[in-house]
Amino acid sequence: MRCRVCRQPAVVEVRRHNAGFCPGCFVAHCRNQVERAIKEHRMIAPGERVLVAVSGGKDSLALWDLLLQLGYDVDGLYIGLGIKGYSEPSLDYARRFADERDIRLVEVDLPRDFGYDVRSGAVADHRAPCSACGLSKRHIFDRAALEGGYDVVATGHNLDDEAAVLLGNVLRWDLAYMARQRPVLPGGEGFPRKVKPLVRLAERETAAYCVLRGIDYQVEECPMSVGNRHLGYKDALNAIEERSPGTKAAFYSGFLERGAELVADVGEQSREGLHACTNCGAPTTAQGQCAFCRLVERAAGEHRRRLPVSG
Ligand code: SF4
Ligand code: ZN
């Protein structure tokens, strides 16, 4: 197979575009896709400061690299989840990426800064680990962005992630989640804007991008993801994609073009009735403390109980 652009031998095949690319043209293709997503959805305006949520995995490091290449003013934020054997190497990959480029990585560590880890949070709040993790990450991204004076938080959700979440939402007809599932969530009082510039790139494309750009990343999946519903939806979509390349992208882009506006007003209602958390001031639908502050209180107690007794 030859590169679609320059006719040199291709090293990456993108079946949904029915195209192959040589290394240089593939990297340029990824950059174009991200640039297009940013423009199409008005994600980042010139001069805005961007904070990228960095996990040490391929998507977030590819995103950071792509935004730097496109000339954005962008720092990284790593949140240590306290997952033994996984969080430490993930942080190393993120640090190495930042050190090699002499760029800023903001580090937050759940056990050190808030006194709990994802597992304790899940037990204390009777949630699944991913639910405690998601709640913690959302709150910490918002707070770090506002305190650091960033205009936008960018996350590495790719086409496979978004299509899988959409499939889950459709299977449950969860209209409120569907309404929020856009590549841009506007900012508001206490919320930075949130953007997903990788929505036009599939997971294997971000992996190929990292390999071609010489970016080392955490290859292991988070151990908490085992049995996650989301992974089942990805497998189902991959099986369909294998038989009909392009279905995943058509499913997701069709939602953005025709489905999203049908559920848009459900999303409007869900931001109504927000108060300031009595502890941290973050916007919340709860009276009193926000869900994150309540999680911290309960989880820190649980975390202390689980620590080995020394001495
Ligand atoms: Fe967090 Fe779950 Fe993702 Fe692990 S798999 S990083 S616990 S959301
Ligand atoms: Zn709070």
- Please give the number of the atom of ligand 1 that sits closest to the Cα of 137: 1
Q: pLDDT grade, residue 197 (50/70/90)? A: very high
Q: Calculate how far, in angstroms, residue 134's C-alpha sits from the geometric centre of ligand 1.
A: 7
The strand pairing partners of 154, in sequence order, are 52, 195
* Parallel/antiparallel/unpaired status of strands 184-185 and 193-195: antiparallel
Q: Calculate how far, in angstroms, residue 289's C-alpha sits from the geometric centre of ligand 2.
A: 5
For residue 249, pLDDT beyond 60: yes
- Segments making up each domain of the chain, as ranges: 24-218+227-271
Would you say the CB of residue 249 lies under 6 angstroms from ligand 1? no
Half-sphere exposure of 73 (CA within 13 A, CB side): 9
For residue 10, pLDDT beyond 60: yes
Predicted confidence at residue 273, as pLDDT, reads 74
The strand pairing partners of 49, in sequence order, are 73
Q: How far apart are CA 29 and CA 240, in angstroms?
A: 24
For residue 310, pLDDT beyond 80: no
Predicted confidence at residue 63, as pLDDT, reads 98
Number of Cβ within 10 Å of residue 56's Cβ equals 24
Among candidate residues 61, 221, 255, 32, the one with its CA nearest the CA of residue 155: 61
Check: CB of residue 253 under 8 Å from CB of residue 166. Answer: no
pLDDT in tens, 264-293: 888 665 566 788 999 999 999 888 999 999
Tell me the two tokens of residue 70.
């496109």
Predicted confidence at residue 183, as pLDDT, reads 97
Check: CB of residue 9 under 8 Å from CB of residue 239. Answer: no
Q: How far apart are CA 221 and CA 231, in angstroms?
A: 11
Q: Calculate how far, in angstroms, residue 67's C-alpha sits from the geometric centre of ligand 1.
A: 24
Q: Calculate how far, in angstroms, residue 222's C-alpha sits from the geometric centre of ligand 2.
A: 27
Would you say the CB of residue 118 lies under 6 angstroms from ligand 1? yes
Indicate the average pLDDT of the chain: 94
Would you say the CB of residue 225 lies under 6 angstroms from ligand 1? yes
Cα dist from 25 to 28, 32, 36, 89, 198, whole Å:
5, 10, 16, 31, 17
- Please give the number of the atom of ligand 1 that sits closest to the Cα of 129: 7
Count Cβ neighbours within 10 Å for each residue of 188-203 and write b for 16 or more, e otherwise: eebbbbbbbbbbbbbb
* CATH code for the part of the protein at 24-218+227-271: 3.40.50.620
Q: pTM value?
A: 0.94
In testing the pocket of ligand 1, which one of 78, 130, 218 has its CB within 8 Å of the most ligand atoms?
130
pLDDT in tens, 130-156: 999 999 999 999 999 999 999 999 999
Would you say the CB of residue 224 lies under 6 angstroms from ligand 1? yes
